[in-house]
Amino acid sequence: MNADIKRERENATFDIEKMTHILDGSPEKTKRRREIESLVFNDPDFDEEDPNFLSRSERYDQAVRKSAQMILKMREFGIADPEEIYHYKSMAKGTLQEALGLHFVMFLPTLNSQCDAQQAEKWLPLAESYQAVGTYAQTELGHGTHLRGLETTSTYDPATQEFVLNSPTVSSIKWWPGGLGKSSNHAIVLAQLHTLGRCHGLHAFIVPIRDMETHQPLPGIVVGDIGPKFGFNEVDNGFLKLENVRVPRENMLMKYAKVEPDGVYVKPPSDKLTYGTMVFVRSMIVGESYRALAKACTIAIRYSAVRHQSELRPGEPEPQIMDYQTQQYKLFPLLASAYAFAFVGQYMTQTYHRISGDISQGDFSQLPELHALSAGLKAFTTWEANFGIEVCRMSCGGHGYSRSSALPDIYVEFTPTCTYEGENTVMMLQTARYLVKSFRQARAGQRLSGIVSYLNEPQDRRLQPQAAGARPALVDVNDLSSLVAVYRLRAAALVEMAAKNIQQELQRRASQEEAWNNSAIDLVRASDAHCHYVVVKIFTEKLAEVRDPAVHSVLSTLALLYALNGITRNSGDFLLAGLLSVPQVLQISVRIKELLSQLRLNAVSLVDAFDIHDKKLNSVLGRYDGNVYEHMFQWARRSPLNATEVHDSFHKYLKPLRSKL
Amino acid sequence: MNADIKRERENATFDIEKMTHILDGSPEKTKRRREIESLVFNDPDFDEEDPNFLSRSERYDQAVRKSAQMILKMREFGIADPEEIYHYKSMAKGTLQEALGLHFVMFLPTLNSQCDAQQAEKWLPLAESYQAVGTYAQTELGHGTHLRGLETTSTYDPATQEFVLNSPTVSSIKWWPGGLGKSSNHAIVLAQLHTLGRCHGLHAFIVPIRDMETHQPLPGIVVGDIGPKFGFNEVDNGFLKLENVRVPRENMLMKYAKVEPDGVYVKPPSDKLTYGTMVFVRSMIVGESYRALAKACTIAIRYSAVRHQSELRPGEPEPQIMDYQTQQYKLFPLLASAYAFAFVGQYMTQTYHRISGDISQGDFSQLPELHALSAGLKAFTTWEANFGIEVCRMSCGGHGYSRSSALPDIYVEFTPTCTYEGENTVMMLQTARYLVKSFRQARAGQRLSGIVSYLNEPQDRRLQPQAAGARPALVDVNDLSSLVAVYRLRAAALVEMAAKNIQQELQRRASQEEAWNNSAIDLVRASDAHCHYVVVKIFTEKLAEVRDPAVHSVLSTLALLYALNGITRNSGDFLLAGLLSVPQVLQISVRIKELLSQLRLNAVSLVDAFDIHDKKLNSVLGRYDGNVYEHMFQWARRSPLNATEVHDSFHKYLKPLRSKL
């Protein structure tokens, strides 16, 4: 092991293993996760070429092979619990994606939840035995987040008792679904349902797209891969153009809405039923923000302990780059964010399970809050992690730009989370809608509960801009609960400001919609402040659960850094609302520097606690043993361009060039 | 042409062509640029497959072919002026890189500037006829920006009158030079010169690395490609390990320093001589920040005019996404930055030429200021553009993630500018060093001139934190010269704060170096504020040159948006220093929204004025005609995964899987 990184570990002030248990949830969970992971990293069938050395087609081929392999192995090992499946797969996939991902994440669950009994009997066995490999075709060339705008049509023909599906325009071509291009032989197609001359909006249809034996596209189906992307190149995201494709009436998913044989449409009992999945997926993405940022921090911080550069003190050896204050300032706040998001992810999962318990008993009362929370936190954490991964990459200098660092892969595979499952700005505005609505309810005298209860506070506690005064003195910048309060007041101030802005716009203009759009910048800011408050609050509350004093101490330092750094980055907000005074903001800057040097000692151990196996990380810079340069050299020698000493292009172009001059 | 984008153009309030002339420098320059560009886009030899559909090796092959082709064509057309070469090449390259880039940018210029007469006679004809294809090998696995740390050795052997070059450690392997891996047969190697038992620091040596006929690596040379990267995959960035490689004494570049045949070392007359190139390259990068951001804005803004989504007013057709305030707030400040950086780029080129005139007459007095300015503005503009390109990409939703948008390519090819030619944080600290030094000189009573003269201002005009009061009332947030002043005061305040911080650290601790490092966060902030002030100032001054009232009007709106947006993004600084009051900051937020809706009308025309040819842009989303979806579909069908209807992986893995379950 590299001597520097060894010394870093020896200097840790806390028990790394105990921290890992907290991040996993319990010692048992850590143990079980490692058992599952070891099934992959001890399995020679998962030894494979670095996908960075493969062509697109080889990369896809490797991913399909791995998908098939995972299915067989998990059956062999009896891995069936969703959490265990997650660990097994994420070890096998590393930073990359699964070719058949949508079959598991969308096709099977949709069949499960939206088939009636007869349909379930037919389709589930086909899907579970991979006779039917499926995907979920919703997004079109012209429409993403705005579902009502989707153009694909499914028109019922009572004469034959079939639906006729069509892509009436270029912009209606289905676009993006994972596994649609080459892998799937079925798709659940979302289309506008027309029957007896009326349109009943979006419904789901099972559409066979390829022959189950030959895998050739069926008549009327134009299907293929949408071409290379920033990342996800191991996945065949696809297009699907439907030309008078007929499917039997029974292929409409009919657990809720129905079309009778004669074409009569029967409405679903409630439209809140599909709401739950969306909320669940967004909650999961918060956890992904943690995991992606944790990977990036692991790589950048370990490398910063190994890399020596320049000089701090004349005549002394070159320092580790982690000794530079600017490097600490880039990385340690992100490390704090990774920890924060880990706990927010845990909170979201717990909340989801609690509330879905209520929902299954018919109590939808908490769904709007959960919906607003999951939308906002999905946007907040993915934006922050997205930005942070790139900071980590650039903090590794040139070597971060090499694919061998894994940082480019982590970024390109993570960045779509800002767009999919609800575009982030749209998500922030959805949360804002809930906040403004709650604010108005509170103003109308209604008593709010839950996470927005701070909007209840009497007017004199919600500070007006400029109406500061005595308050700032009350804030203790070293006390987390005091900081939670100040974040809460900032959120309240910004929600109020956005709501007032809408009011002013309404007084000037005609429509609600214009007033909303003309306040959108303020609304996004308000949502952002709300989410920021929630994250600081959850992180602070988590500390109360931690018994071990050494672990508690270092986690408190991280939480304090998270909270104070958020204040300096948004100091204008806190000053504008009169929540902090100028000397307090200056004091916070000083305090942040102290926290950075306190964390310096534990930085490597704090990323070790994420416990990301080298095989999963797949980064020469982030290796546990710190032996960076040797492995970078070994990796490079395997580059396909080095397969021959002299590349053909020399004979084709460079040598002939001389004679032409 | 798409009807929406046509209407946008009809609504323009200014003459696009006149704006293009301003961006190019003059109508003549626009005309000549277009003539040069048309040589490429009318040339069938440059019609080629989208590199996104190629493997790494094919991509490199294509780039070498193009390099050879460009050399021949430019000779044919007599293109020899550096600016014309730039236009020709950048049209041919699009967003990608040149395989032999370093031959032109570093190998030839270094030979030109550092060969003595005899060396020039030998090497220049070889290099100009491409018998010798070369690169510049400086960076090593273990060292980048800190040149003194480089480990490669070149030891003079008087017995044979040769230098013996070695890579003594793994970390000393040369790493990253473009064209080193496969293309070059020579490298200028930077190595620590040892002679007669003493080390004389870094010097440059011409090292043959491949046989000029067979292109096989020479004895003692281990050379190859460093493997795939985030971008630059058409370039063979390489490694070079030297094992007792002997070159004749005459292969040391000896225009300045020399080693006599007996091994006696002769010092160079001045070490400022190599300074100029570095400053020039950094100035050029500022121009690249403009061009990259202009490309990204062109794509995102045109697409935002074509894309319709969701609803603003119930019952009305879906609006163009550019009608959303949040979309305007993402894109228009970046559009303003692109214009700002265009003018900063022009300013840097002019300043460089002015000052290099002085230097050639032996007057080095302005070099430190130029050095500080180019370092800081390189970092400031590349960071901003880097961040901005990704905002543009994500503002295009899912489609921005497709390689067909060109946005991923623009990002990955641009982002290295934050690292190469001086890592950005190091650059900011170099600028800070100059600022602090100037501040101390001013305090010591010296009269500063040039761009830092604001540090001369009497103490009562440099506002202390909290010492606000009457001042804020003096700022007119609608007046650019008033805003320039407020940016200047912010820079002065932050430079002063950083300098004081160093002072306080010195009082507490022993060394200058520690005090510097413990103030590094503040120093970077001070540099950033200084650069921000310079950009606002240059943009404002540019307006004075613009005669056409309509063009002047829209440019003023952009400049005002640039200045005001910078204030809201850093409102804490302005409030802390007492430069603006709370009501002023709130007023600025309102004003920004007004400016956004003013710019809405001209947004497409403002990106049209960048005049980036479709062929250079290579983006289906950014097409001039706005026919996005049709071309996206056509592009996707050419994806290599669509070469066969059924991918082999179906037969290899998916079909067999069924029988195993």
3-state SS string over B558-584? HHHHHHHHHHHHCHHHHHHCCCCCHHH
Tokens 């989504």 found at: B309
Residues of A in contact with B513 (CB under 8 A): 311-314
B207 strand-pairing partners: B187
Average pLDDT over residues B615-621: 97
Tokens 């909170």 found at: A347
CA distance B345 to chain A (A): 24
pLDDT confidence band for B269 (50 / 70 / 90): confident
On whether the CB atoms of residues B183 and B130 are closer than 8 A, the answer is no
Mean pLDDT rounded to a whole number for chain B: 94
Q: Please tell me whether residue B294 adopts helix, strand or coil conformation.
A: helix
* pLDDT higher than 90, residue B361: no
Nearest CA in chain B to A133: B654
pLDDT confidence band for A472 (50 / 70 / 90): low
Size of interface A-B (CB pairs under 8 A): 396
The single residue of B421, B423, B514, B645 carrying the catalytic annotation is B421
Question: Is any Cβ of chain A less than 8 angstroms from the Cβ of B627?
Answer: no
**Residue B271's pLDDT is what?**
64
On whether the CB atoms of residues B396 and A425 are closer than 8 A, the answer is no
What separation, in Å, do the N-terminal and C-terminal C-alpha atoms of chain B show? 54
User: From the list A216, A323, A404, which residue is nearest B227 (CB)?
Assistant: A404
Range 378-397 of A in CB contact (< 8 A) with B: 390, 393-394, 397
Tokens of B313: 């007013």
User: Which residue type, as a one-letter code, is found at position A436?
Assistant: V
Tokens of B119: 């060396």
Does A149 contact B318 at a Cβ distance shorter than 8 Å?
Answer: yes
pLDDT tens-digit readout, A18-54: 999 999 999 999 999 999 999 999 999 999 999 999 9
CA distance A656 to chain B (A): 9
Average pLDDT over residues A164-174: 98
CA distance B525 to chain A (A): 11
Does A571 contact B572 at a Cβ distance shorter than 8 Å?
Answer: yes
User: From the list A226, A513, A641, which residue is nearest B56 (CB)?
Assistant: A641
Average pLDDT over residues B132-148: 93
**Residue B146's pLDDT is what?**
84
**Residue A312's pLDDT is what?**
83
Tokens 């989707």 found at: A150
* pLDDT higher than 90, residue B224: yes
Nearest CA in chain A to B649: A61
pLDDT confidence band for B470 (50 / 70 / 90): very low
* pLDDT higher than 50, residue A346: yes
Among A187-196, A617-626, B314-323, B621-630, name the one with the lowest average pLDDT: B314-323
Among A450-464, A543-557, B56-70, B306-320, name the one with the lowest average pLDDT: A450-464
Active site includes A162?
Answer: no
CA distance B325 to chain A (A): 6
**Residue A274's pLDDT is what?**
61
* pLDDT higher than 70, residue A513: yes
**Residue B391's pLDDT is what?**
98
**Residue A468's pLDDT is what?**
44
The whole-angstrom separation of Cα A192 and Cα A133 is 24
User: From the list A309, A325, A650, which residue is nearest B146 (CB)?
Assistant: A309
Tokens of B360: 């050639």
* pLDDT higher than 50, residue B468: no
**Residue A358's pLDDT is what?**
83
pLDDT confidence band for B355 (50 / 70 / 90): confident
Residues of B in contact with A216 (CB under 8 A): 645-646
On whether the CB atoms of residues B520 and B570 are closer than 8 A, the answer is no
Residues of A in contact with B517 (CB under 8 A): 312, 323-325
Nearest CA in chain B to A235: B641
Task: Return the higher-pLDDT residue of A275 and B81.
Answer: B81
The whole-angstrom separation of Cα B21 and Cα B546 is 11
Question: Is any Cβ of chain A less than 8 angstroms from the Cβ of B349?
Answer: no
Does B633 contact A141 at a Cβ distance shorter than 8 Å?
Answer: yes
DSSP letter, residue A446? P
Mean pLDDT rounded to a whole number for chain A: 94
**Residue A23's pLDDT is what?**
98
**Residue A249's pLDDT is what?**
98
**Residue B660's pLDDT is what?**
87
**Residue A660's pLDDT is what?**
87
Does A642 contact B225 at a Cβ distance shorter than 8 Å?
Answer: yes
Average pLDDT over residues B443-458: 90
Among A217-221, A641-645, B276-280, B514-518, name the one with the lowest average pLDDT: B276-280
Does A149 contact B55 at a Cβ distance shorter than 8 Å?
Answer: no
* pLDDT higher than 70, residue A464: no
pLDDT confidence band for B550 (50 / 70 / 90): very high
Question: Is any Cβ of chain A less than 8 angstroms from the Cβ of B309?
Answer: yes
Question: Is any Cβ of chain B less than 8 angstroms from the Cβ of A508?
Answer: no
pLDDT confidence band for A469 (50 / 70 / 90): very low
CA distance B572 to chain A (A): 4
pLDDT tens-digit readout, A547-601: 999 999 999 999 999 999 999 999 999 999 999 999 999 999 999 999 999 999 9
DSSP letter, residue B169? S
Range 59-88 of A in CB contact (< 8 A) with B: 60-61, 64-65, 67-68, 71-72, 75
**Residue B306's pLDDT is what?**
98
Among candidates B471, B488, B476, which has minimal Cα distance to B578? B471
Question: Is any Cβ of chain B less than 8 angstroms from the Cβ of A211?
Answer: no
Nearest CA in chain A to B240: A633
Does B645 contact A216 at a Cβ distance shorter than 8 Å?
Answer: yes
**Residue B661's pLDDT is what?**
82
The whole-angstrom separation of Cα A37 and Cα B649 is 26
pLDDT tens-digit readout, A204-251: 999 999 999 999 999 999 999 999 999 999 999 999 999 999 999 999
pLDDT tens-digit readout, B8-30: 999 999 999 999 999 999 999 99
**Residue B458's pLDDT is what?**
62
User: From the list A312, A640, A654, which residue is nearest B57 (CB)?
Assistant: A640
Range 455-484 of B in CB contact (< 8 A) with A: 465-466
Residues of B in contact with A175 (CB under 8 A): 398, 632
Does A641 contact B181 at a Cβ distance shorter than 8 Å?
Answer: yes
Q: Please tell me whether residue A239 adopts helix, strand or coil conformation.
A: strand
Question: Is any Cβ of chain B less than 8 angstroms from the Cβ of A27?
Answer: no
The whole-angstrom separation of Cα A377 and Cα B588 is 28
Question: Is any Cβ of chain B less than 8 angstroms from the Cβ of A311?
Answer: yes
pLDDT tens-digit readout, A94-149: 888 999 999 999 999 999 989 999 999 999 999 999 999 999 999 999 998 788 89
Number of C-beta neighbours around residue A595 at 10 A: 20
Range 562-601 of B in CB contact (< 8 A) with A: 568, 570-572, 574-576, 578, 582-583, 585-586, 589, 592-593
Average pLDDT over residues A625-651: 97
pLDDT confidence band for B467 (50 / 70 / 90): very low
Residues of A in contact with B68 (CB under 8 A): 653-654, 656-657
On whether the CB atoms of residues A235 and A61 are closer than 8 A, the answer is no
* pLDDT higher than 70, residue B459: no
Question: Is any Cβ of chain B less than 8 angstroms from the Cβ of A314?
Answer: yes
Average pLDDT over residues B596-609: 98
**Residue A460's pLDDT is what?**
47
User: From the list B520, B582, B653, which residue is nearest A325 (CB)?
Assistant: B520
The whole-angstrom separation of Cα A412 and Cα A95 is 10
Does A326 contact B217 at a Cβ distance shorter than 8 Å?
Answer: no
**Residue A360's pLDDT is what?**
79
* pLDDT higher than 80, residue A276: no
**Residue A182's pLDDT is what?**
98
Among candidates B234, B345, B342, B229, which has minimal Cα distance to B295? B342
User: From the list B398, B420, B661, which residue is nearest A144 (CB)?
Assistant: B398
Number of C-beta neighbours around residue A244 at 10 A: 10
pLDDT confidence band for B469 (50 / 70 / 90): very low
Range 532-561 of A in CB contact (< 8 A) with B: none
pLDDT tens-digit readout, B306-321: 999 998 888 889 999 9
Among candidates B81, B100, B84, B74, which has minimal Cα distance to B35? B84
Range 33-62 of B in CB contact (< 8 A) with A: 52-53, 55-57, 60-61
Range 119-158 of B in CB contact (< 8 A) with A: 129-131, 133, 139, 141-146, 149
User: DSSP letter string over A5-73?
Assistant: HHHHHHT-SS-HHHHHHHHHSSHHHHHHHHHHHHHHHT-GGG----GGGS-HHHHHHHHHHHHHHHHHH
Question: pLDDT > 70: what percent of chain A?
Answer: 96
pLDDT tens-digit readout, B226-238: 999 999 999 999 9
Question: pLDDT > 90: what percent of chain B?
Answer: 88
User: From the list A64, A419, A423, which residue is nearest B654 (CB)?
Assistant: A64
Does A656 contact B143 at a Cβ distance shorter than 8 Å?
Answer: no
User: From the list A412, A572, A582, which residue is nearest B465 (CB)?
Assistant: A582
